[in-house]
Structure 1
C-alpha cells in the first residue's frame, strides 16, 4: 500500500572517544578512526579524522543523517587502525538500532566488546523531528519502496572559432548512491539518466576525459524539478563544454508488486477454475447438488525433483489422474527440478489437460530414449557459444547456468532453439481449463553460506515471479529485467523458458558444503538448522551487535569456510528487489516470520534486497519439494497430492517438510509413520490434522514398486510371462533411473510410465475419500470464516 508518511527526523551522531583498545602494531600506538554507515539515509560511508599515535583517541566529531522513522535504520560503526603500507586493520564493529532513540532526547552509549573488557567506544546520539514534506512510501509491512528522482545529463559543445576538431568530447559523471553509479557522457548524444532516492542529498560530480580532476559538483536539491538548467564546465581547453541538467520525480507506482495476497490474475483464474472443479467433483463424488463457489475445495498436485525420473513419472501419474476423471478436480500443480520439465512441455498446449495424454507421453518418451551424444557435437557447441554471446548483449549476466540451460534444452527437445516463454502459459489458464502451474527454486548466497544456512523460496507462475518471504513479485515477462527501488530501470526481452528450466534444475550453483549435505544423511544438518531457528526466535532484530577484530585462528577458519561455501558456477539474475528498504517492524510481520530461515534475517543490510543479483538453484539442496507455494495462507489449499520421486527414503523429504513447517509455525499435518510403513512403504499414505482447520490434508505417493509387481492393472493379476514387466529397479544404487541418467532404454521408460500410472489408478478409492475430506475441510473453513464475519 502507498502511504504519505510524516516521519522525517534528523539524527546527529557524535563520535566522542575510545579507550582500552590495544594497538595492532607492535612498534607503534594506534592511528585510529571510526567509519559510519547508514544505508537508509545515504549511500556514502562517513569517517572521522584519524587520531595518530594514540591509544585513547578523542574525536568529538558530529555527523548528521536525515532518516525516516518508518524504516529499519541500523547504524554501523567500525573502528580501524590506519595502516599506510597494508589494508587498515579492523579493531571494533557495532550495529546500533536507531529506532530505539526517542525524538527530542540525547542519548549517550558506551559500546564495549564484552562486560568484563576495558575496550570502550563512546558515542552520543540525538534525534530531532525534521520539518519536511511527508515522503511517499509504498510498503507491505516488510519491504519499503521510496520515492525516486531521475537526473538527465546532456553534454554540449560551445561553438568556438578555435575549435577545428571533429572528435567528440567526453566527461565522466558520478552520482554515489544512484542506480547507475558512474557513466561516460559524450557530447552531441542523447542525455544519460541517473536514478537516486529523492530523500537523499545526492550530488553529481563531473571529471574531464582522461583526468581525475573534478571540475563540477552539483547538489540535486539545488536544481528545480522539471526544469532544465545549463551549467558551463570550468575548463581552459577548447572547445568549451556546457552541461544541461534536468531532474524529475519518477512514477510513484513501482513495477514490483508489494503484497502478500494473490495477484488479480490468479484470483480471476481461481474463480474460473472453481467452476471446472465443481463440475468434476459433482461427477466423481456423485453429489446431488451443485457446489457453491465458496465450498469448492482447493486441490493441488505437489511434484518433487528427480531429473528424467521425475519428468517421466509425472507424465505417468497425470495420465492416471486423467483416466480416473480427477485431473479436473485440481487447481494447482507445483514442480521442482525434473518435474518442471514435464510441466513446461505440457503447458505449451493451452488445452493439454482436456485431451488424451497419449500424444504428449509419446513425445516425451522419444526424448527420453534418444541418443544424447549430438548435444556435445562441435557445431552444437559453437551454437551454444553464439547464443550466450547474444544473450549477454541483451543485458543478461553471463554465468554457467545459461550454458546448462542450453544443454538441457537440447536434451529435451529436437527443435532448438525452442522459442517458448513462461508468460505464454497464461493462455492455458485463460478459461480455467487447466490447473495453474507454479515452479520452485531457492535463492541463496553466492559465497560464505551454504544453501542450508541461507535459502529463500522463490516461486514462478505464468503471472508472476516472487518471494513469499518478502511479499514481492514481478510480472513473469519482467523477470530478469533490471530494477531499482521497485522501479523498472531497463526492460530486457523475456527469456526463453529453457533458461528458467536451467534455474529450476540448477545443480551447478552448489558449493562443497551443499554437496556434503546432499550426499549424506541430512538429519545432522537439519538438527543444527532447527537449533538455529530457536536461537533466531529469541534473537529478534538486535539492538546491538558487537564484532571483535578477526584473529589469526578466525582468518584461517574463514579461508577454509570460503573454500566450502564459494559457488564457482553460480547463476546470476538481475535482482528485482535491489535497493528496496525494510519496514521498521518487518521482523515481526507474520508472513515474513513464517518464511525466515537464517540469522541474517535479523540484519536487513545482508538480505536479498542489498544484492545486485539473485543466486538461484535447485530446491533439492535444501528440501526436495515444491510444497511451499501451497502453504501460503492466501491460497487456502485443502488437499495436496504429494508425488515424491526420491529413490532414497519414501518419507524422508516429506518428514523434512513437516519439521520445517513445525519450526516455522506453518500449518501442516504431522507425518506420523508406523514401523511397518517405514519398512514397507505402500503406494499411498494419508496425513491429516483434525485439530487444525488451516493444515491441508496430504495424500502422499512415494515412488515404490509394491503391488505393481503382481498386477498389470488394478485387480488384474500378471501372467507368468508378464512378471518381468513388473520388475522396476528403484534401488538407491545401480538403478537405471538414477538422477545422473539422461537416457533410458525404451523398456525402462515404459516400465516407469506404467508404474507411475498404476500407483495412481490402484488408489482410486483413497483419492475419492481424500476429495470428500477436502470438501468437508473447505466447508469447515467457510463456516469459520462466516462466524468470524458475524
Structure 2
C-alpha cells in the first residue's frame, strides 16, 4: 500500500481512505458550507452536512441543464453549501468547461456567459479536427473513443480541449470537489459490479468501491506490480469528455486530403471494425490486491466507457463510504422512462450492500413533480430527486420538451440553449425553500 502524494505518484495505492488532497479540501470547505447555511438562518455548529450534487448524462441536454442548474444555485446563494459535484456523460462536458476557470463558483455568471458564447458562436474546423485525430493515431491505445471525441464531441462543445485534469489542482479551493465517473467495460459485462465503478478526480483516479487508486497524472502510463514502468502523457479533457459521452453512432466527414490522410483513415476503420472503446493501460497489472478481482489484475489494459451504459448517474462513486455524504441532490437529465436511474441505483445498492433509502414514486407520469425526497433509511443519505422536465416548469407539456431535446442530435440552436437554461434554472428556483428545509432536517438528524 502506498500513500498517494506528489512525491509517490509513480505507485498504486490499495486502500479505501480518501486521498490527502481531497480530505484537505473537504476539511477546508466545511467553513464555507457553514457560512452559506448561516446566510439562510440555518445553524449547524460543528455538524456540517456533506451535500453532493449528482448530475445525470444526456449529451448536450445534460451539459446545458447542469450549467443552468449551477447558475441558479449561485443566484439563490446555494452553491456554497455543496461539497461534491459528480457527473457522467454529457454533464461532465459542463464540468470540464466550468472547472477550467479557477474558483469558478465565485464568478458563475461570467463563466456561464463565456460557455454560452462558445456554444453559440464557436467553431472547430475540419482541419483542426483532423490534426488532433492524426496526433491521437500515434498513441499505443488509439481507439474509437479518440475518433468520437474529435468529431461529434468537439463539434458539439465547440472546442478541442487540450487541458489535462491535473491542471485543476489547487484551482478549485473555493469550489465543490469534482468527481468524474466512468465504468470498467469488462467488469460490467462480467457483472462484477463492485469492480465496475471508476472515478477520476484532479488528484487521484481508480475503482471507487474496490479501493484501488493511482495519481491522476499517471493514469494512462504503464504499471506492473504497483509501480510505473513506462510513462505516457496524461489524457486530456477532450478524451475524458468522450469517455463519458453518449455515442451510439459514428459520423465522420473529411473534406480534404493530406499526406498521411489514408493512414489515419485506415487506422480509424480498423478500430471501428473492432469496436474498441476507451483502451487504457491497467495500473493494477500483476498486482496483489485481495479486494480486486483476479481478472483485472491479470489484464494489461482495461476499457473504460460511459457510465450511462449501466446507470446514467455518478451515484455509486458519490456513495463511497469514506465520503460520508449526508444529502444527495440528484439532477436527473434523462429523457424517457421516469425514475429509471434512481430505481437502478436502489437495486444496485442493495446488491452491493450500500445503504440507500427505499425508493417509492408514482411511476412514469405526465404529472411529474419537480422535487421528490427519499429518506426512510437512517443509515443512508437523504436523496432529493429532481427531474429536468416536469409539470411545474413545463405546464403539462413534458413530452413535448423531452421530444425537443433528444440525446442524439447535433448542436443546439441559440434559442434551444436559452430555453433549456431557463427550464433547468426554474427547477432550482422553485424548490429552494424545500431544499433548505431538507438540509435543516439532515443537520438535526446528524446532531441527534
Bucket of the pairwise TM-score, normalised by the shorter protein: 0.7 to 0.9
| Equivalences for residues 339-488 of structure 1 within 5 A | 339-355=91-107, 357-370=108-121, 375=125, 377=126, 379-380=127-128, 382-389=130-137, 391-392=138-139, 396-407=140-151, 410-412=154-156, 416=160, 418-429=161-172, 432-445=173-186, 450=189, 456-488=196-228
Q: Counterpart of 2:277?
A: 570
The match for 2:255 is none
* Higher CA-based Rg: 1
Matches within 5 A, 1:342-741: 342-355=94-107, 357-370=108-121, 375=125, 377=126, 379-380=127-128, 382-389=130-137, 391-392=138-139, 396-407=140-151, 410-412=154-156, 416=160, 418-429=161-172, 432-445=173-186, 450=189, 456-505=196-245, 507=247, 568-583=275-290, 586=291, 604=294, 607-674=295-362, 678=365, 680-689=367-376, 691-692=377-378, 694-709=379-394, 730=400, 735-741=403-409
Question: What is the root-mean-square deviation of aligned Cα atoms in Å?
Answer: 2.8
Q: Which residue of 2 aligns with 1:118?
A: none
**Cα gap change, 1:408 to 1:350, in 2 (>3 Å):** farther
The aligned residue for residue 217 of structure 1 is: none
The yes-or-no answer on 1:296 pairing with 2:44 is no
TM-score, normalisation: structure 2: 0.86
Aligned residues: 422
Q: Taking structure 1 as reference, are residues 569 and 269 closer, same or farther at Cα in structure 2, changes over 3 Å only? A: same
1:742 positional shift: 2.6
- Structure-2 separation of matches of 1:299 and 1:778: 13
- For residues 770 and 451 of structure 1, do their structure 2 counterparts lie closer, same or farther at Cα, with a shift above 3 Å needed? farther
Report if the CA contact (8 A) 1:736-1:744 is conserved.
Answer: no
Structure 2 contact 57–87 (Cα < 8 Å) conserved? yes
Residue aligning to 2:21: 265
**Structure 1 residues 730 and 451, CA gap change in structure 2 (3 angstroms):** farther
Q: What residue is the counterpart of 1:775 in the other structure?
A: 443
- Secondary structure of 1:489's partner? strand
Written as runs of structure 1 = structure 2, the 5 A alignment for 1:202-221 is: none
1:730 to partner: Cα distance: 4.8
* Structure 1 residues 478 and 397: CA distance shift in structure 2, 3 A: same
The separation in 2 between residues aligned to 1:730 and 1:619, in whole angstroms, is 27
1:2-13 alignment, distance < 5 Å = none
Deviation, 1:445, is 2.1
Q: How far has the Cα of 1:408 moved from its partner?
A: 5.0
User: Mind listing any 5+ residue stretches in structure 2 that lack a counterpart?
Assistant: 251-272
* CA displacement 1:583-635 (0-9 Å, x = unmatched): 3xx4xxxxx7xxxxxxxx5xx2xx21211111010111111111111111111
Whole-angstrom distance in 2 between the partners of 1:386 and 1:758: 43
Distance 1:638 1:338, change over 3 A: same
TM superposition score normalised by structure 1: 0.50
The answer to which structure has the higher strand fraction is: 1
Partners of 1:425 and 1:582 in 2: how far apart? 30
Q: Distance in 2 between matches of 1:608 and 1:730?
A: 45
Aligned counterparts of 2:304 and 2:321: Cα–Cα separation in 1: 24
Supply the distance in 1 between the matched residues of 2:201 and 2:102 (Cα, whole angstroms): 15
After superposition, the Cα gap between the structure-2 partners of 1:730 and 1:779, relative to the gap in structure 1 and judged at 3 Å, is farther
The residue number in structure 1 matching 2:88 is 336
Q: Distance in 1 between matches of 2:30 and 2:352?
A: 30
Rounded to whole Å, the distance in 1 between the matches of 2:118 and 2:9 is 45
Provide the secondary structure at the position in 1 that maps to 2:383.
strand
In 2, are the aligned partners of 1:296 and 1:775 still within 8 Å (CA)? yes
| Deviation sequence 1:516-549 (CA, Å, 0-9, x none) | xxxxxxxxxxxxxxxxxxxxxxxxxxxxxxxxxx
